[in-house]
Chains A and B, each alone.
Chain A
Amino acid sequence: MDTLVSEKHRAVRRSVRAFCERELLPIARDIDHEARFPWDVVEKMARLGYFGIQVPREFGGAGMDSVSYVIVIEEISRACGGLGLCVTVHNSVAVFPILAFGSDEQKHRWVPSLARGEKLGAFCLTEPNAGSDAASIEATALRDGDHYVVNANKVLVTNGGVADICLIFARTDPDAGRKGMSVIVAERGTAGFVAGDLEDLCGMRANPVSSIRLFDCRVPVENLLGKEGMGLRIALAALDTGRVGIAAQALGIAQAALEEAVRYARQRRQFGVPIAKHQAVQMMIADMATQVEAARLMVYRAAVLRDRGRPFSQASAMAKLYASEVASKVTDMAVQIHGGYGYSKSYPVERYYRDARVTRIYEGTSEIHRMVIARGVLDG
């Protein structure tokens, strides 16, 4: 790991960890239980630059590299998966596409307030009948003079309940198939823009996941991101970046589960000794630590490749697949080490277990990632 991180990265980890342990960890159980978005902590995170981690300084961001980015997400997620999710989605699949595909005017209009966390972003691709098969979306954005009339039913939108600036994937040419998809930036408050009720989810409950619906919503043509027909390309580029963040999030949750399991194993006594003395528990701890370390190497390597301008798509797909599956296994073992108490809300591992599960589903399921990776291997 020493070869992948610098003094700066260590400083990032120390400072984010100190902040999260003081501000987020003490409330993590309650905000999960109450499904509450902690605005006060989010505002503090915003002041520290967590919502514009890689945004260039000229747009009000911190201008950091991808390794710093994954460390921030890992550390927030170590304290609270739902907030890690909020920050990574905002940075990667909401802000990044505007920076990468937006015009100068669009960047200046939206990015500074997003980077300062004054406004939150969301990525609205998934629909009731379009998830892994992203090209089958039914949302439409039809040109009418200098506006698009957007009709969309987007579901399971991360940050949906609080997002101000939403990237809506819609068909601008309903007859053009995959090439007819575009991205329209819709702002909360526009007539016809409705954020639905919050989802009552198994995990990530501090994140206000909701539907976003647009009913004959008139959005100025200036809000088209890139060009008409670029929707799928923008989605894939955003998800390439986004999956490094989800991998970092899974890593942070797994790290937290490992630490809790070690702490508990040292303290819990059965058969006259701490359970850490039992070989059956040691085997689990060894597997957990090894898998977490391997996941970390993959996640950081994907970030390093991105920082060096090298192709990172395959590495980020592998990191996301592996880290999310490790998070599921490691949190499962942490529950097992805790025995009956692990199944109780009195201990944090059940939360890690629930939070970890979805990292294998969103921003590309494990199965989709295997397809992508296999294609890369076979065609490469």
Chain B
Amino acid sequence: MQLFRARPMTRPVEVAEMDALLGRVAAQQDRAAFATLFGYFAPRVKAYLFRLGAPAAVAEELAQEALLNAWRKAHLFDPAKASAATWLFTIARNLRIDALRREKRPELDPDDFLPEPEAGADAGMMVAEKERRLRLALKELPADQIQVVELSFFADKPHSQIAEELGIPLGTVKSRLRLAMGRLKRAMGGDE
């Protein structure tokens, strides 16, 4: 199986900048802000869907739809909980399940949970800092660990099949994922 290697063509944009653009879309339906978000994220969502096996034309169409969904849902975006990139990822993920796999995405009902205590003004900063650390830690994962993490996102197949194609036992795939998650959590300042 081909090992996926990310080749960012542009330097990752500052997390806070994208969050602010999304905030402007939510607050005042700012089209210029949306156009900037579109220019950055639509080609990445297209790459994501293409990587998961969608034909180029379908990936193109769904990338536009994902950004349209982001416009419609912008008022639900909470920078204290996730960055714009993470939020866009969940939109693209759910769109793929709905449109390409024709299944439902079982999601938690937010009404089932008590509202969380008001996040401090720096909660968004904490998210940005956590993501910055995560990004660094992802790049430093051993090759065999980042491989199974990436395949968990980009190969549309269960871990048993990933194991088979890599020629390693399923238990090895699982233990590599466990090791990777442990490292990433520590990097993000998680208290294990």
Mutual binders A and B: no
Q: Which residues of A contact B (CB under 8 A)?
A: none
Q: Which residues of B contact A (CB under 8 A)?
A: none
